[in-house]
Structure formats: C-alpha cells, structure tokens
Amino acid sequence: MQIRTTRFGSLELEPSDTIHFPNGLLGFEDCRQWVLLADAGNSALGWLQSTTRPEVALAVVSPRRFVPHYQFKVYRSELAVLELEQVRDAQVLAIVGKNERSITLNLKAPVVINLRCQLGRQVVANGDLPLQHELTTASSTLKKSA
C-alpha cells in the first residue's frame, strides 16, 4: 500500500508495517492507523506517521535514552487494549515536542506499542510527570559552561 505524507513524500508500506491504535491518539482520535518511520538523520529518532492524514506525524524517541531513570506506572485499564502477554513485548516511546526554550519529551503520556500484535495506545501515566520535559541539548550545555 502507498501512503502520502507531507514531511516524507510518498511511502510504500507493507500492511504489516501499520500499527493499529484502537483509540487513536488524544487530539487525533480519528487516526487509528499509524506507521513508525526511522529518521534519516538521527538513529535515536522515529516518526509516528498517520497513514490516513498526510500532515499528521509525531517525532518519538525511546525515553530512557534521554532520561535514563524514567519510569512510570499506569492503571491496568490503560494497557488492556494492547493485549500484552508479557511486558517485554511492549515498546515505550515518548512524543517529542518543542517549547520556546527547548526540545521537550512528553513523559506524562507515553505511547506504548505491543510489537507482537502491532497494537498501540497513548497511555496516561499516574502521578506527577511532565508533559514537557525539557532536554538540555549538547549545544546549550556548552553555552552555559562558556
């Protein structure tokens, strides 16, 4: 199948590449089918691209690569639609955003994907976690120390 995207042009996909989000994502409830693309320039970065809306794509990273001590708890109900048999089938991704100061990671509502079944859901983690965790980039660290 072929999909159109505004950022990456036309893409040829296998049906098995698509990840089904039974509830969509918050704010994108109509987007049920997504595909995870690798970023051309940064191996740590992926793009969750809607297969039905060309302009809708979210940059995602594995949060622990940037926030090593990150962990979260969710109610069992949050994971029910993922049909997870074992926790190691789950891939956790944090959505990348940007505010006036910094690139940010959404640690409050990570995306969890069951790799075995290609099922995904954005879960709401319990407790006090930031929607915009600011990442101090290498260049800003240099500026501070200069």
Partner 1 sequence: MLVLSRQRDESIMIGDNIVITIVDIRGDKVRLGINAPAEIPVHRQEVYEAIQRENLRASRLEPKDTRQLGKPKE
Stretch that binds partner 1, among 11-19, 92-100, 112-120 (CB under 8 A): 92-100
Of the candidates 85, 72, 84, the residue with the CA atom closest to the CA atom of residue 113: 84
Distance CA 105, CA 38 (A): 18
Residue 2 or 77 with smaller CB distance to partner 1: 77
Residue 15 or 138 with smaller CB distance to partner 1: 138
Of the candidates 46, 45, 72, 55, the residue with the CA atom closest to the CA atom of residue 4: 55
Count the Cβ atoms, other than its own, within 10 Å of residue 62: 15
Per CB under 8 A, does 26 bind partner 1?
yes
Q: Which residues bind partner 1 (CB under 8 A)?
A: 7, 25-28, 39-45, 47, 55-59, 61, 65-66, 75-78, 80-81, 95-98, 103, 106, 108-109, 122, 124, 131-132, 135, 137-139
